[in-house]
Copies of this chain bind each other. A is one copy, B any other.
Amino acid sequence: MQRYFVEQIKQEQFLITGDDAKHISRVMRMESGDSIICLSEREGAYLCQLLEVSSDEVSAKPMEAIDLKTELPVHVTIAQGLPKGDKLDYIVQKGTELGASRFIPMQTSRAIVKWDEKKSRKKIERLQKIAKEAAEQSYRAKVPVVENSVSFKGLIEQSKQFDQILVAYEEVAKQHETSQLANVLQTLENEHSILVVIGPEGGLSEDEVCQLEQVGAKICGLGPRILRTETASLYVLAALSYQLELLR
């Protein structure tokens, strides 16, 4: 059944507007009486019946609450060094499917890509839309947040708020570091918050890795093969899901 994240689900009836109203009326061609699933951060998930449908406004009524158990037991934030091209679209879409709860685009010393203020605002909007659509399609209960881009220094300042910090570093992968990631994932407890730091194509600098170690980050290899920047976070998220949702 079609799923939509909405601002608020009110008991008697509530309104769906904007792109979602267009999608319900024009793309899905639904009519009053049809059913959809609506999700709201505050009220949770409900099976809803459509009351009135027009292309700019849809009214709906919640019929019954749905118990969604699709969120990872931990809160994963991906800090991604700015990659080339549209790779960040892909990282946000796949990372959302795989359960990430936050994305932080990060300016690092070796990144070729730079974002200016204007570019940044537009990109974040676009990425947030990608996250919402991927969250609906993958049955997530929450839409991950795409933060404004931060400097590396800004990331270090934020790092204290996390229970664990993991850094994917290809230099240790080349030296066959294979124990760190598993060690950390096996010690995680429910509701822990994890920051996963991934460098851009050029990788993180030694100095950046040192600064992360100084705030308690664990430096991990992600197996013996060298992964592209857009693949690293997906590996970590899949490993997290396997360890916490399937192995447990």
Query: From A174, which residue of chain B is reached at the shortest CB distance?
Result: B139
Q: Are B97 and A231 in contact (CB under 8 A)?
A: yes
The copy count of this chain in the complex is 2
Partner-binding segment picked from A118-126, A209-217, A219-227: A219-227
Q: Are A231 and B94 in contact (CB under 8 A)?
A: yes
With beta carbons under 8 angstroms apart, the residue of B137, B222, B246 that contacts A223 is B246
Q: Is A152 an interface residue (CB 8 A)?
A: no
- Interface size class on chain A is 20 to 34
Q: Are B224 and A69 in contact (CB under 8 A)?
A: yes
CA distance A28 to B34 in the complex (A): 60
16 A-B residue pairs with Cβ-Cβ distance under 8 Å, sorted by A, are A97-B226, A97-B228, A98-B231, A99-B225, A138-B228, A178-B246, A182-B246, A222-B241, A223-B241, A223-B242, A223-B245, A223-B246, A224-B245, A235-B238, A235-B241, A239-B246
